[in-house]
Structure 1
Amino acid sequence: MSNPFRLVIVGGGIAGLALATRLGKSLGRSGKLDITLVDKGFSHVWKPMLHCFAAGTARNENDRITFISHAAGHNFRFCYGEISGLDRANRRITLAPLVEKDDDNVVLEERYLDYDGIVFAIGSRANDFGTPGVLEHCIFLDNVVEANNFNERFRHALLQAYGRGTPVDIAIVGGGATGVQLAAELHKALEIGSLYNFTPKTPDMRVTLLEAGPRILPSFPEDVSAAAHKQLEALNISVRTGAMVSGVDESGFLLKDGSRVDAQFRVWAAGVKAPDVTRALDGLECTRGGQFVVKPSLQTTVDDRIFAMGDCSSIQNDPLPPTAQVARQEAHHLAKHLPAWILNQKPVPAFTFNNKGAIVALGSYNGWGTFPDGKTFGGGALHGLSARLGHTALYRQHQIELYGLRRGLIACLSDWLDGFVRPSVRMD
């Protein structure tokens, strides 16, 4: 019997884990495909919820999917590591050494994985655009580790504010969905926390949202942007558009017009770029933002054995927005057509994106959803009910897709019951 085809999926986000799960149920179970999922973390979380983890209004312990156990139950292997190199001639990837941050102790040496085919799904990061001081003085929220670190610092700052009676100043750069939702979620966290009567007086929290463009939520219709702007200001969140950051220091942001916005917490949630490693992977073509350039089949332009999907990829002459919806549909496309490409050398057809709209929820205050025709549902009259339900439904759909119907419904029930036991906001 010939050896099975070795497929390596790099990245366990929405796209990577969905693809590994679906292929594991089919070709992995039959032994026709040897699947290895590589990720630099040990668990998966739904990235659109990172702002909730950062604010503490959701506990990611309940929302994580551990790669090792999930792989064991879905006929693929998990390999912990971060890709650092690619050798296309010998079909081999290099995984960087694992080094402890505190004392530079090497826990795992450099390792190698051989492949017959690769799918890159390594996501994206916020883009600092080379702005001086951003990397040194700003907090990013691109993964669960960064979200947890922010939440820990946020809780400590609130403790100090309660004890000293001083305000907490937070400035967020980026008026897209992440920045807007984080601003609202932080307000929600303080509002919930004040109900527990920690001290007689709830401290002030001053949140400023900075957007370089003329309006927040630029991917949504103008009426949604205007309504969201109004809602944030109703929560005493200062929204400044046309505010381009020219530099950052340990005290705050310097704007292009010469003014300053001082803040104890400086969050950078602007722009999108691929991880820096993409430019060092054996000549694969990349965009200016570091995304792999792929053909409509999602194969890279220089090597048909290498695919890329989700935020780290850009379809040649037809780029798509870096959203969870695009990543999920691309994963489903490859899950459907890779078996024929692997087993029978049939070409992978062109990917077609089916735009089902977008949704944004401002905590429990308001929200909007848009359909491809530009119409909206929800709005101020519903105070975010439709958007919140829609956002929750998308997450539950993701859980059920990965767990299966029975386990997915049990997970939903477990989360619901947990709400009766634990506080609505993280306290410790």
Structure 2
Amino acid sequence: MIPDKKTQIVIVGGGAAGLELARKLGARYGRKRHDIILIDRNRTHIWKPLLHEVATGSLDASLDEVGYRSHCHRWGYRYLYGTLQGIDRAARRVHVAPVFDPKGREVVSAHSVRYDYLVLAYGSVTNDFGTPGVADNCLFLDSRAQADSFRDQLLDHCLRVSRAMSADPASDARVRIAIVGGGATGVELAAELYNAADALGYYGLEVFDRQRLDVTLLEAGPRILPALPDRLADAAREELEVLGVKVRADVAVTASTPQGMETKDGGFIPADLQVWAAGVKAAAIRDGLDGLELSRAGQVIVRPTLQSLADDRVFAMGDCASYTPQGADRPIPPRAQAAHQMADTVFANLGRLMADRPLKTFVYKDHGSLVSLSRYSTVGSLMGKLVGGRMAVEGRLARFVYMSLYRMHLLAVHGKIRGPALILVSHINRFVRPRLKLH
């Protein structure tokens, strides 16, 4: 007697949405009649909103990241290391690019994976809008590797300035950093840099302090943090300026050079480190997505059920999905809360689709926006457009809610037993581990 073939569900992308979905599917269906497969180009997961802390050394990603192999063993799914190359919808196969080691030797050859249902959750990358020189001269914060690279270069420049000051106390040496993008990532990174500078004195750079940081935050729009009410955006700007950040709105960058950034008004901003955090787009798939309809930003356009327009068996969620609710004038923004909510809907709809039941419509609940200015302050608005408006929050309440978002992610990824334990460990680590990761 030939055993029944397992129902194979393939998830491409182990970010917030993909990893949460893999855990829920594995916990619900297990390995007996289902084969849940997660494909990701990284070996570990780190919550993307925390990358600015990894970049400054305020967070040790080695302690907070999730290893896919141990996680899949615990939760009943399989993990494949690789990058999506393309899909074949007629054959229902996902093509995975070959994997090479640092010396260029092939570790895993190109191969394909069968699917009965496919979920695309491969996320987004920073959009440089084709600005000349940005790809060559700017740093991005899309992955842990990029965040680690930024931290290493930042520490090198801080050491250079510290040595210059030791040799000549009258030296005016500075670490010049230009950040393009006045959204949450750019603002949070600018503030976190000063937290890192304050801590460096504890780790051998006794003559270095925040006065040696020269941070410029550039925003092409009329103000920073456009997702927040004017009052809160103004409060964040004042806080940044108190720290020492030069906040410049209505300044468009036209080119990046090895020495700094050129602006539309003819100005030039010299910089030792240039960070581009202005806008996102879906990651490009080398061989395409076999006719799936894409938005201008390269996202997969989905129906209210989060299924692709062209194929009922292909779902998309998170930053790589574009969904515009009925009556709305723009798609749902690429936020962590949207990814979390989409994962819940896709989980429910996969079960309904396999049981031949009507699918649920995705309803996005905007819980507002929060921006952390490191340990100095937190500002934001809660409840989005619920109950007729927004509730502005600042200070300790805003900080508590901001940290609660990460705790919710830990619960969604690790479950109701292991999740609280990890939250407790994170509190303990605040007191026992170094203030900065310097290696």
CA contact (8 A) 1:368 1:376 kept: no
1:173 paired residue among 168, 174, 180: 180
Is the counterpart of residue 410 in structure 1 residue 421 in structure 2?
yes
TM-score normalised according to structure 1 size: 0.95
2:254 aligns to what SS in structure 1?
Answer: strand
Deviations 1:64-118 (A, max 9, x none): 11100110110100000000111111111111111345x4332221111111110
Give the drift of 1:354.
1.4
Equivalent residue for 2:195? 188
Relative distance call for 1:350 and 1:206 in structure 2 (3 A) is: same
User: 1:229-240, aligned counterparts within 5 Å?
Assistant: 229-240=237-248
Return the alpha-carbon distance in structure 2 between the equivalents of residues 310 and 243 of structure 1: 30
Return the alpha-carbon distance in structure 1 between the equivalents of residues 432 and 66 of structure 2: 21
2:420 aligns to what SS in structure 1?
Answer: helix
TM-score normalised according to structure 2 size: 0.92
Give the drift of 1:14.
0.5
Return the alpha-carbon distance in structure 1 between the equivalents of residues 285 and 351 of structure 2: 28
2:372 paired residue among 356, 361, 371: 361
Return the alpha-carbon distance in structure 1 between the equivalents of residues 145 and 204 of structure 2: 30
1:375 paired residue among 390, 407, 422: 390
1:424 paired residue among 422, 432, 435: 435
Is the counterpart of residue 136 in structure 1 residue 143 in structure 2?
no
Is the counterpart of residue 341 in structure 1 residue 353 in structure 2?
yes
Deviations 1:173-213 (A, max 9, x none): 00000000000001111012224563345360100000000
Whichever residue aligns with residue 421 of structure 2, its letter is I
Return the alpha-carbon distance in structure 1 between the equivalents of residues 409 and 88 of structure 2: 34
How many pairs were matched up?
Answer: 421
Equivalent residue for 2:65? 64
Give the drift of 1:279.
7.5
CA contact (8 A) 1:168 1:205 kept: yes
Return the alpha-carbon distance in structure 1 between the equivalents of residues 380 and 264 of structure 2: 33
Whichever residue aligns with residue 188 of structure 2, its letter is Q
Whichever residue aligns with residue 136 of structure 1, its letter is D
Give the drift of 1:386.
2.2
CA contact (8 A) 2:68 2:79 kept: yes
Alpha-carbon RMSD: 1.6
Whichever residue aligns with residue 311 of structure 1, its letter is D
Q: Which moved more, 1:45-54 or 1:345-354?
A: 345-354
User: 1:22-37, aligned counterparts within 5 Å?
Assistant: 22-28=24-30, 31-37=32-38
2:274 aligns to what SS in structure 1?
Answer: strand
Return the alpha-carbon distance in structure 1 between the equivalents of residues 428 and 135 of structure 2: 40
Return the alpha-carbon distance in structure 2 between the equivalents of residues 414 and 356 of structure 1: 27
Give the drift of 1:406.
2.5
Deviations 1:12-39 (A, max 9, x none): 000001111011111125x232100000
CA contact (8 A) 2:188 2:374 kept: yes
Return the alpha-carbon distance in structure 2 between the equivalents of residues 418 and 17 of structure 1: 24
Whichever residue aligns with residue 146 of structure 1, its letter is Q
CA contact (8 A) 2:200 2:208 kept: no
Return the alpha-carbon distance in structure 1 between the equivalents of residues 30 and 178 of structure 2: 47
2:285 aligns to what SS in structure 1?
Answer: helix
CA contact (8 A) 1:245 1:253 kept: yes
Task: State the identity %.
Answer: 40
Whichever residue aligns with residue 237 of structure 2, its letter is H
Structure 2 unaligned blocks of 5 or more: 166-172
Return the alpha-carbon distance in structure 2 between the equivalents of residues 375 and 60 of structure 1: 33
Q: Which moved more, 1:140-149 or 1:187-196?
A: 187-196
Return the alpha-carbon distance in structure 2 between the equivalents of residues 60 and 122 of structure 1: 20
Return the alpha-carbon distance in structure 2 between the equivalents of residues 401 and 78 of structure 1: 18
Equivalent residue for 1:162? 162
1:276 aligns to what SS in structure 2?
Answer: coil
Whichever residue aligns with residue 324 of structure 1, its letter is A
Deviations 1:25-70 (A, max 9, x none): 11125x2321000000011111111110001111111111110011
Structure 1 unaligned blocks of 5 or more: none
Equivalent residue for 1:12? 14
Equivalent residue for 2:110? 110
2:30 aligns to what SS in structure 1?
Answer: helix
Whichever residue aligns with residue 265 of structure 2, its letter is D
Give the drift of 1:316.
4.9
